Amino acid sequence: MQPPGPQQPPLYAPSNGDFTFVSSAEAEDLSGSIASPDVKLNLGVGEGGGGGGEFIKESTATTFLRQRGYGWLLEVEDDDPEDNKPLLEELDIDLKDIYYKIRCVLMPMPSLGFNRQVVRDNPDFWGPLAVVLFFSMVSLYGQFKVVSWIITIWIFGSLTIFLLARVLGGEVAYGQVLGVIGYSLLPLIVIAPVLLVVGSFEVVSTLIKLFGVFWAAYSAASLLVGEEFKTKKPLLIYPIFLLYIYFLSLYTGV
């Protein structure tokens, strides 16, 4: 008789429930790992309790809501960084830009090197509105009933200039006209305290008024009346000049 050869592993492995039995030869080729489950225990440790784990004490109402499937009511959304903007940024108010535009209007001479076209090409609303409101406050020696009237003249006077400019072939937006007309009230604000001092001198007062109106009209016209108007410039400069005469009359009460 020949001695028996090495035994071959069985072609199948019997199973018993959730466990599978394999031979020792097959076990050498098996590999793997067992991941520990991510389980957090809530042991009900109150504030000041010891231990390094993460233990949270929930109230009876909180536990009741979670058990009934209403835990989503207790969820807190993370704050959106965009909701924490400063108030000026939220209102789109750039104080540096407004200050630069004020300097461009008060010093309209090209030789000073200011980029004055920014007043027209980058219009804003809050700067002109602040200038118009401030002019309203100083007009008629603090009679606040004139505030609404000056704002109305600013809005509809700018609308008239805008419509006339478009009829004459100018490429300008209403927002641009509104900003330029509003900012150009600054010269009238500058001469206001001077008129209080020299008001008793009629000749000097008249000259200062004319100087203020020409200053304001020149600042506005140099920004609104471009080369596209060619020979039609007087048709737009004249109503701008009349508009600032009317603004000055609201201040002086004439």
- AA letter at 213: V
Predicted pLDDT of residue 96: 87
| Residue 175 or residue 76, greater confidence | 175
Q: Please, which pLDDT band fits residue 82 given cuts at 50, 70 and 90? A: low
Q: How far apart are CA 173 and CA 13, in angstroms?
A: 86
Q: What percent of the chain stands above pLDDT 90?
A: 12
Q: What is the pTM of this model?
A: 0.61
| Residue 53 or residue 116, greater confidence | 116
Average pLDDT over every residue of 148-157: 88
Q: Residues with Cβ < 8 Å from 70, sequence gap 6 or more?
A: none
Nearest Cα residue to 180 out of 225, 228, 133, 245: 225
Range from 13-22, 88-97, 147-156, 179-188 that averages highest in pLDDT: 179-188
Average pLDDT over every residue of 33-50: 49
Average pLDDT over every residue of 200-227: 87
Average pLDDT over every residue of 208-237: 84
Q: How far apart are CA 124 and CA 104, in angstroms?
A: 14
Nearest Cα residue to 251 out of 181, 154, 150: 150
Domain coordinates in residue numbering, the chain: 91-252
Predicted pLDDT of residue 41: 44
Predicted pLDDT of residue 57: 56
Average pLDDT over every residue of 77-94: 66
In the predicted structure, residue 142 carries a pLDDT above the cut 70: no
In the predicted structure, residue 50 carries a pLDDT above the cut 80: no
Q: What percent of the chain stands above pLDDT 70?
A: 63
Q: Please, which pLDDT band fits residue 99 given cuts at 50, 70 and 90? A: confident
